[in-house]
Amino acid sequence: MMKTTEFDKPCGRGYFYVILAAILWATSGSSSKFLFNSGISPFQLVQLRLTISVGILFFCLLFRRPHFFKISSKDILYFIVLGIVGMASVQFTYLYAISQIKVAAAILLEYLAPFFIVLHSVLFIREKLNPANLIALLGAGLGCYLVVGAYNLDFLTLNYKGIVAGVFAAIAFAWYSVHGEYGMHRYPPETVLFFAMFFAAIVWNILQPPFAAFMHHYSFIQWVWILYIAALGTLLPFGLYFRGINLIRSTRASITATLEPITAAILSYLFLNEILEPLQIFGGAMVISAIILLQLKHENDNKAPDFIRTQHQKKKKTH
């Protein structure tokens, strides 16, 4: 009789799925930087990534779960907004930030999303800012300051376009996370992901001439990384991450996913010769610590309810 290993248990598998997703996302970020260094623009890669990803997901669902395409007519506008304001914005700002600054720094800036979610709850939901949240927010802010290298005397020469894009990526991802919860309560994750990507792809094929990015000449190596980013760097990690959430809860999954910027820093150092200074590494550790503190505080306060459910409960109390 075979012994049961830790990874045969649901909890062990959950962590394994999230860790693998984080590694795939990190590799995708470094691969994107390689493509930018080889001459591909962020505009081209966004169009390629979204169009190929949604095409692959369409055929996967068509042959395996065609019923996942069924949505209520009243939710069409919701998915349009989620795709345009959320998915399309996240994809562009994230990739543009990577094209302008170091990969690890760009990913760490996007990981400030929990910071903006808490900020939103304090400013608009009127939640109290407790000491733990305050420490986490201050730590994330200081960590961000160090990550982008603003401590240098020549800070005026910093790539502000990349920094601003990274901050907006965090805001867009926070918005997508908060409003994506509504869809997750009504539809399977694959349905939400497909329609968000579908409308995002439509937008990017309007902002750019339709399929214009496909008309460029790419080398074999470039096509390999483009397809990797679309399939193994986008769809597969999303699927693994959702499976992980089902097994270990979203709080633990989001904390485990902070492995992504760490992995990205290592890969970028090995293959792109991107070196983070000691203070940048310390700032990254502060950002990750702040994320973990925010997530643990959220879990202890709510145990099971998510941000959206809390918001709905507060609204009901006011009526």
What pLDDT, on the 0 to 100 scale, is given for residue 48?
96
The encoded tokens of residue 21 equal 């997703």
- Retrieve residue 273's tokens: 């010769």
Residues of the chain with pLDDT under 50: 1-2, 6-7, 304-319
What pLDDT score does 260 carry?
87
Handedness of CA 42, 203, 235, 85 (dihedral sign): positive
- 204 Cβ contact list (under 8 Å, min separation 6): 46, 47, 50, 51, 88, 91, 92
pLDDT for the residue numbered 8: 52
CB-CB contact of 50 with 201 (8 Å): yes
Best CA proximity match to 49, nearest among 76, 87, 5: 87
Average pLDDT over the chain, rounded to an integer:
83
Which residue from 52, 75, 46 is spatially nearest to 206, judged by alpha carbons? 46
Cα separation, 22 vs 293, whole angstroms: 19
CB 89 within 8 A of CB 242: no
CA distance 130 to 12: 33
pLDDT at 12: 79
Sign of CA dihedral 295, 298, 304, 310: negative
User: What's the pLDDT at 2?
Assistant: 46
Q: What tokens appear for 76 in the block?
A: 């069409």
Structure tokens at 243: 């499976």
Specify whether the CB–CB gap between 200 and 139 falls below 8 A. no
CB 152, CB 279: distance < 8 Å: no
